[in-house]
Structure 1
């Protein structure tokens, strides 16, 4: 739809077949909308992780769930053992703090964020 609009309205293509603007716009929009869709999917993944933590806290107790997440810290602090040629296939290459574009594509929240979320729950 966007490619057709750009081709007809912006580039004034009046032929029956689509012009080059249609194809270029379609490719660009495929890429941009694909990136946006990935960010939305990762947001849902992080949301599910928070909900799973909350359910774990209800079943095992908030403090027990926080202790379980803290037990994961040694694994998080371990140096990355992935060979350089394979890093593109890794799930994560370390934790960053604060807001960044990379955080939009993270499938899991950081341990600090997960623990902070659990601490807000009633005991």
Structure 2
């Protein structure tokens, strides 16, 4: 059985989730970034589908309205996605000090109630 120092040495200490310091922050930052990326891809897909539906509507008012609503909803989703991203890192990072930008990733800082 391998011990934690052996595993860290094999994976390369200080690399992302495998690092001994800030691993939870790195994991959470990675998961949050993946969720935002998937959300952005979904918004892009909805906008493309709305545009294609508009092109293929052939002048039918009902289909045009449906395509316009799809594009509008995709844009609203994009605004909400950016707002959530900004608010999360503003509140968790700057105000509460839970996350700190470190290099190309994020470091989780566990706050203490009394002292350190």
TM-score, normalised relative to structure 2: 0.41
TM-score, normalised relative to structure 1: 0.39
